[in-house]
Structure 1
Amino acid sequence: MRDASHAALAYAAKIHAQHGYETCPERLCAALGIRVIPGRENRAVNGPPSIITLRQDRYAPRQKFTMHHEIAHVLIQRAGLEDAVLNEVDGDDANEHLEAVASHMGAALLMPASLVRQAIRDWGDRPEAILRIQQGSGASFPAALVRYVTHDLEASRGAFATSGSYVAHAASINMRPIYRYDRVPDPRASFPEAALLSIPNRARTVGVMVF
């Protein structure tokens, strides 16, 4: 990982630890002195005063992640690293890179490393660990899947979930990519190395691979 991004994530982890790894975004904002107000777009400024404007979303898990994403932007600014993160890549891709770092940081605020490690201790590298992360954080299933895969950036890990015969959600790191919308009529045949879990009431199969 690039130096500025790594430093920003380390700073956020330190601040989060100081506040007991609070995962409720409203309580975390209060502890960090961030005011949240409704707005037409999602954005964050450290200020002072520190303000997040938030577009309302009726889907609660997505709204929760969005708040953590905006908190991450405030923390990157407080660390004095926003420009350094932007300058890690070419200008055309700079904002996209900053958003990716904020999303990774936001996921860590919503689903702390301690929660991910406990889920893996309890279930191993199996699909049940993703469900445990989702249940323990209140995050959406896709967010929990991505967090499971990316919590260790040095590992070779992938996960996917099918809907019917197609891949509906997927993430992978340091391995052959898994793509959304790929046709997978038989997950066992397509991913023989994967640990699988069938969820019949949703016509879904969740798979996990670690190399």
Structure 2
Amino acid sequence: MKKNLVITIGRECGSSGRAIGRKLAESLGIKCYDKELLALAAKNSGLCEELFKTHDEKPTNSFLYSLVMDTYSMGYNTSAYMDMPINHKIFLAQFDTIKKLADEESCVIVGRCADYALADYPNVVSVFICADEEVKIQELMKRHNITRDKAKDVMIKTDKQRSGYYNYYSSKRWGSSKSYNLCINSSVVGIDGAVEIIKEFAKKKQEFLKINENA
């Protein structure tokens, strides 16, 4: 059993999911990977980092899931991989980097289907952060110094992209309680409250795994 604790965080736009992830990682004394994951995946794959930024958490209608996963199982040096469209290669590079991180260290990973990539890792805690609409709009207005209408537009479009990406690349539904170990409304408990809840949940899950392991 892989012992590293990895906490994955899915989040609605404006829910402070990224801030919760960073504060959680700081509290646990581990690293938080968000945009940093793109640079690592680019380095590991040899692909340009700008390509990862362009395709970051964006769905694609041309993605042939079974073909890509078959190629993943065979390795990257096959002719199928060499002929694969760039968006397919980017997804596989991120998928591979997420697994590599989980093998090497305890960490927090924000977004990018990390919970799905690590589905067979028992020591992973998958979390989804949501928030009330008005709270999210106010957060985005403050964060980006934009109008209410613009903030709402950003929120809707970003969540549509994230849900499309997650639903397309994984076998689960973005934001559904069935897809995660834990769902938290940050507008009810705040950033600090969310951090403490996740820490306590992770502790309880690790204790439960240990009991079952020794049973």
TM-score interval, normalised by the smaller of the two chains:
under 0.3
TM-score (norm 1): 0.28
Higher strand share: 1
TM-score scaled by length of structure 2: 0.28
The higher-RCO structure (CA 8 Å, 6+ apart) is 2
